[in-house]
Amino acid sequence: MNMKKLLGASVVLLVCSGVEAVPITYTFTGSVVEIDPSLSSTFNTSQTLSGSFTYESSTAGDLYGSDASGFSNYYGALTDFVMTIGSYSASPPFGSDIFSGVQVVNNFGAVDRFVLSSRLTGAQFNGFNPLGFLSLDDFAGTAFSSTSLSDLPNLTGWPDGANHFTQWYLAFSRDGSAPRVAGNLTSITQVSTVPEPGSLALFASALAALLGSRIRRRWPTR
């Protein structure tokens, strides 16, 4: 293949990759507030929650209502979701008996909300694997501008907002009801980011210029 054509194709691929979303990962911690009596041999309020989750921001969603006042469900967007309390840990593989994914609510009932939910794998209670749930609520309805998963702002520090509320639980039931252990988040931190398309395009242009100069130095003119 002609070297200049190969260079052009490489740059096009690099620029195009800049508009593709990449997995977004957060870590979080939380306090234990509520414990069903049947779970008291495993959980107690002196324990703390720690965990992480990863979602694919390019996942297509199902919109209910409107983007300005509604919510979107992103089935299958979760690629990882780990919740650890004391010595108990719940993690993938995900179950298929209940919604598994991400929900983004924008100005629906004057509330913005980010929700994760999935059946996880861990020691069973009540005949069920744990159902993991995490919710970030903004009762001012100003956190999000749409229900788009790819347009979400950085959620780092969410528990510090005056109008913000957080909750999490592990439920050992079919639908999230008792028995369960639950509480609130104390921190959430983004540990990976989506590269900005403009930044990658700039990098591609610089790479093209660099490689072009090397080609001109090595190849004699005709």
Whole-number CA gyration radius for the chain: 22
Mean pLDDT of the chain: 85
What's residue 81's pLDDT?
Answer: 98
Mean of the pLDDT values across residues 145-152?
96
Structure tokens at 133: 């749930």
In the chain, DSSP assigns E strands to 23-35, 48-56, 62-65, 70-75, 78-85, 88-90, 101-106, 112-119, 131-138, 164-171, 180-190
Banded pLDDT at 22 (limits 50, 70, 90): confident
Higher pLDDT, 50 or 9: 50
What is the percentage of the chain residues whose pLDDT exceeds 70?
77
Sequence spans of domains, the chain: 24-215
Mean of the pLDDT values across residues 116-136?
98
pLDDT tens digits for range 85-112:
999 999 999 999 998 999 999 999 999 9
Whole-angstrom distance, CA of residue 189 vs CA of residue 157 = 7
Whole-angstrom distance, CA of residue 51 vs CA of residue 81 = 7
pLDDT tens digits for range 29-68:
999 999 999 999 999 999 999 999 999 999 999 999 999 9
pTM of the shown model: 0.79
What's residue 220's pLDDT?
Answer: 41
The closest of 151, 147, 122, 118 to 133, measured between CA atoms, is 118
